[in-house]
Structure 1
């Protein structure tokens, strides 16, 4: 399953419109905002328990999972090419076996969850609040690609970090460490995405600029935002992934690459890739195989860190960040 999927759920009094762009969409919100109502309407409609005026419109089959973990997993395994709804009241939503089944599925999922789903890799760009606008129940994106203190705020005009923090010590770290070494700014690995918030809180005396793979960072974003609230002058940037930046930079040339990068969702099959980050990694590895730019996530090919290629990567950074690097 791939591409954008539109779902319209309506009754005589309510109308929900969802635009699903990836395999996992998470809807957050406080009590009494209509999250559970959305799932209940879909469930009642599919069970033919609704009266005239209730509709669920979608080009794909829809399903609602409920009950115990075993039955939910069995039912999910039987579903294919469907949009699956799960409410946060279902305890299996937080189980390892259910997460593993989700990652093996080619379905799209809509999860109602105020807390992070730590066993699933989902994008910071696919987390939404349900916004009550009277008859229309619209979704509002919680996070944008760049964040400072509160998600609603934009990146500061001038960023002056004392530490650059990455998720791990692989290829992305090597590139960022090379970029900032000349500027005499320390680049440090957090040793995993779950450690980003912990590091920020433990080093709040520093101005930390964290760079994470936004395509799979959704579950950890809330804790990082909370940490930034306590650490003025620190920021987090969430590009899709390091591999995405390389593919966008022009370092690698390949027929059809531009088309893919303009609309990745049209090419990413949910049954093959649990997140866009994995797709971009596989794509970069495949396009550069047996070339001077042969890519390995574990160790960065030195050909990527020539002066010219570093400049190409920096051009992919948002203006505030590229300006920061030039000013250092």
Structure 2
């Protein structure tokens, strides 16, 4: 899979737009900014479709990968954007790094810590931030911002190698 993809995920309370440009994208952010909510919404849509109350707009399928059977499940996913939450320990394994490198999927990894075994670009580290509070009438919009400015790249690379 090549090229840029825009993923828009929304329900009646939240909307998140996320540009995906490379095979590995890191998504970080403070607590309660919507990282896990994003993963949950994509998973609900993947499982129930429109009946979930979630709308996922993208030109390729979006999937969630989790659990102890991740290797078996990943073998069945192709040409998709795969979302993985930080509580999945396999994301930090060399086996996952090898599997990700040899697949045709793009990956969005929610992570608060460096993942030195994965060859991601510092240009594809995004921070999720809320732009407003949700109410039943008006949804909260979460925006995605590049996390690391060019001046901090050297510091980040130093941190990754420790």
Same fold (TM over 0.5): yes
Specify every segment of 5 or more residues in structure 2 that has no aligned partner in the other structure, as ranges. 133-139
The answer as to whether partners of 1:5 and 1:19 remain within 8 angstroms in 2 is yes
1:114 aligned residue (112, 119, 125): 112
Secondary structure of 1:116's partner?
coil
Partner in structure 2 of residue 223 of structure 1: 159
Q: 1:94 to 1:20 in 2, by over 3 A?
A: same
Which protein, 1 or 2, shows the higher relative CO under an 8 Å CA cutoff with sep ≥ 6? 2
1:84 aligned residue (71, 78, 82): 82
Higher helix share: 1
- Please report how far the alpha carbon of residue 77 of structure 1 lies from its aligned counterpart in structure 2 after TM superposition: 2.2
Partner in structure 2 of residue 63 of structure 1: 63
User: Are 1:74 and 2:72 matched, yes or no?
Assistant: yes
- Please report how far the alpha carbon of residue 144 of structure 1 lies from its aligned counterpart in structure 2 after TM superposition: 2.6
Secondary structure of 1:121's partner?
coil
Query: Quick one: distance in 2 between partners of 1:131 and 1:62?
Result: 21
User: Are 1:146 and 2:151 matched, yes or no?
Assistant: yes
Query: Quick one: distance in 1 between partners of 2:84 and 2:147?
Result: 19
The answer as to whether partners of 1:7 and 1:19 remain within 8 angstroms in 2 is yes
Higher strand share: 2
Query: Quick one: distance in 1 between partners of 2:158 and 2:62?
Result: 29
Partner in structure 2 of residue 154 of structure 1: none
Q: 1:117 to 1:52 in 2, by over 3 A?
A: closer
- What do the CA deviations read for 1:42-94 (whole angstroms, capped 9, x no partner)? 101111187564201111011100111xx211221222111000000111111
Query: Quick one: distance in 2 between partners of 1:20 and 1:49?
Result: 22
Query: Quick one: distance in 1 between partners of 2:33 and 2:98?
Result: 30
Partner in structure 2 of residue 34 of structure 1: 34
- What do the CA deviations read for 1:207-248 (whole angstroms, capped 9, x no partner)? xxxxxxxxxxxxx53727xxxxxxxxxxxxxxxxxxxxxxxx
Q: 1:43 to 1:94 in 2, by over 3 A?
A: same
The answer as to whether partners of 1:65 and 1:72 remain within 8 angstroms in 2 is yes
Secondary structure of 1:117's partner?
coil
Secondary structure of 2:48's partner?
coil
1:131 aligned residue (129, 132, 136): 129
Q: 1:132 to 1:24 in 2, by over 3 A?
A: same
Specify every segment of 5 or more residues in structure 1 that has no aligned partner in the other structure, as ranges. 152-195, 198-219, 225-328
The answer as to whether partners of 1:116 and 1:222 remain within 8 angstroms in 2 is no
Show the 5 A alignment for 1:1-328: 1-48=1-48, 51=51, 53-68=53-68, 71-134=69-132, 135-147=140-152, 220-221=156-157, 223=159
Q: 1:137 to 1:222 in 2, by over 3 A?
A: farther
Question: Larger Rg: 1 or 2?
Answer: 1
Aligned-CA RMSD value: 2.0
Off by >6 Å, runs of 4+ in structure 1: none
Secondary structure of 1:105's partner?
coil
Partner in structure 2 of residue 214 of structure 1: none
- What do the CA deviations read for 1:76-129 (whole angstroms, capped 9, x no partner)? 122211100000011111111111100111111000000011110000110011
TM (norm. structure 2) is 0.87
